[in-house]
């Protein structure tokens, strides 16, 4: 494991501190997501469209027909990415609760990694990861 030159804190400990801090902060910010009757607001896809049989995954990876508007129209297939994978594994209600906090967690950890690779002290990396997340 790499250690910081001046502080002697291992990067593993700094990563764990950043991860626990981000998880704590995100669970405080998204505490309403733990309530089964609450779902995060999604501006880009209505819940009805996510629950529609035409949009169900994994069959949507080969393309689909959007029949929710007037006659309908052909739609492009779902991209093979993390969000499509999560929406394949989880029902829409759970996906909407998990996606935003998970995206913020990954972004915060990515910022921590970026600051670590730039050679900053571990406390700067942790604070940068928290600020980004």
For the segment 108-133, what is each residue's pLDDT rounded down to a tens digit?
A: 999 999 999 999 999 999 999 999 98
pLDDT at 4: 47
Tell me phi and psi for residue 64, to 5 degrees: -155, 175
78 belongs to a structural domain: yes
92 belongs to a structural domain: yes
Q: How confident is the model at residue 50 (pLDDT cuts 50, 70, 90)?
A: low
pLDDT at 132: 93
4 belongs to a structural domain: no
Compute the distance between CA of residue 29 and CA of residue 82 in angstroms, rounded to an integer. 22
Does the N-terminal peptide bond of residue 58 adopt cis geometry, omega within 30 degrees of 0? yes
Provide the number of structural domains found in the chain. 1
- The yes-or-no verdict on residue 56 having pLDDT over 80 is no
Beta bridge partners of 75: 64
95 belongs to a structural domain: yes
Compute the distance between CA of residue 99 and CA of residue 56 in angstroms, rounded to an integer. 17
105 belongs to a structural domain: yes
64 belongs to a structural domain: yes
Residues 6+ apart with CB under 8 A from 88: 57, 58
Q: How confident is the model at residue 42 (pLDDT cuts 50, 70, 90)?
A: low
pLDDT at 106: 93
Longest dimension (CA), the chain: 67
Domain that includes residue 112, residue range: 11-132
pLDDT at 23: 94
pTM of the predicted model as reported, rounded to 2 decimal places? 0.70
118 belongs to a structural domain: yes
Query: For the segment 62-114, what is each residue's pLDDT rounded down to a tens digit?
Result: 666 666 666 666 566 667 778 777 877 888 788 888 888 899 999 999 999 99
Q: What is the Cβ-side half-sphere exposure of residue 89, based on CA atoms within 13 angstroms?
A: 9
49 belongs to a structural domain: yes
């Amino acid at each position: 494991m790499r250690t910081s030159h001046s502080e002697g804190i291992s990067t593993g400990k700094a990563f764990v501190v950043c991860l626990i801090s981000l998880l704590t902060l995100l669970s405080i910010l998204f505490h309403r997501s733990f309530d089964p009757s609450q779902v995060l607001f999604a501006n880009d896809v209505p819940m009805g469209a996510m629950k529609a049989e035409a949009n169900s995954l994994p069959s949507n990876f080969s393309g689909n027909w959007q029949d929710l508007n007037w006659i309908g129209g052909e739609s492009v297939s779902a991209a093979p990415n993390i969000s499509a994978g999560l929406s394949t594994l989880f029902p829409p209600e759970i996906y909407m609760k998990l996606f935003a906090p998970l995206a913020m967690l990954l972004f915060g950890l990515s910022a921590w990694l970026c600051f670590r690779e730039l050679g900053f002290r571990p406390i700067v990396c942790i604070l940068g990861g928290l600020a980004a997340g």
